[in-house]
Amino acid sequence: MTSPRFFVVARVVGRDGALPIWKERLVHLCSVSATERYGDSYYWGADLDGEPDTLWGLEGYTHPLGFFIDHVSSDIFKREMALVDSDSLLRTQQGLTSPDYDLHHYDEETSTPGSFLKRWDDAERDGTTSHVAVVHLWATDSVKRAAVLARLAEYAAVAKKAPLDDTNGLQSAVVLRELKDNTLATLWVRTRTRAAFDAENAAGGSLAALLVGLKPLVAKTELHQSTSFQGHIGISL
């Protein structure tokens, strides 16, 4: 039996003016991630929700050891994190235990097929200028979460076959099951442009219809958007 891929969705809250320096740090972190035994995705962008120095990242690994041991033990990671601390890039507290590192840990949902990281009919599948949306859905209980995950996977399966261009369609629709919170399901969506996401989420769009349909199962929903600028995605595929 093949283990599901392990993902971390990271929100990193930076101090004012930190984004250009974060981009320098991420050059080296992305480079070393691509060489790691279990490394698969290391994809970063800048917040579009009113916090311009906040980062959003998707880290993906073929095994959790990649995140918990391999990546953090590399000399480059230790060097770059020391520079992050010396430059005081976080907003409220420096160090790896800072609350400014807001991380969720996941297995990819595979019990219902559908989740996808890339499409082979996408000429820009490895592009680093995509629009990214993170949809967090807290189900009313763990049983309802299973139903939410199944609906998200069904949505992703349909989206993978839909037309894709700069104004429509999804490049990624990753369905994620949070490991520490048994009510949280997350949909990580990537489109070529913001306009393509807006079409998906507008009244009459497929994502908007999905979220309306999930309301009876969900206690709380959050939507976060970012524009990617650096990294790699699905290099093991």
- Stretches where the chain sits below pLDDT 70 are 1-2
Q: Give the model's pLDDT for residue 3.
A: 73
3-state secondary structure the chain: CCCCCEEEEEEECECCCCHHHHHHHHHHHHHHHCCCCCEEEEEEEEECCCCCCCEEEEEEECCCHHHHHHHHHCHHHHHHHHHHHHCCCECCCCCCCCCCEEEEEEEECCCCCCCECCCCCCCCCCCCCCEEEEEEEEECCHHHHHHHHHHHHHHHHHHHHCCCCCCCCCCEEEEEEECCCCCEEEEEEEECCHHHHHHHHCCCCHHHHHHHHHHHHEEEEEEEEEEEEEEECCCCC
Q: Give the model's pLDDT for residue 1.
A: 44
- For 123-163, the pLDDT digits (tens) are 999 999 999 999 999 999 999 999 999 999 999 999 999 99
For the chain, give every domain's residue range: 6-105, 107-229
Q: Give the model's pLDDT for residue 2.
A: 63
Look at the domain 107-229 and name its fold.
Alpha-Beta Plaits (3.30.70)
Q: Give the model's pLDDT for residue 236.
A: 85
**Architecture, CATH, for domain 6-105:** 2-Layer Sandwich (3.30)
Q: Give the model's pLDDT for residue 4.
A: 87
Domains 6-105 and 107-229 belong to one CATH topology: yes
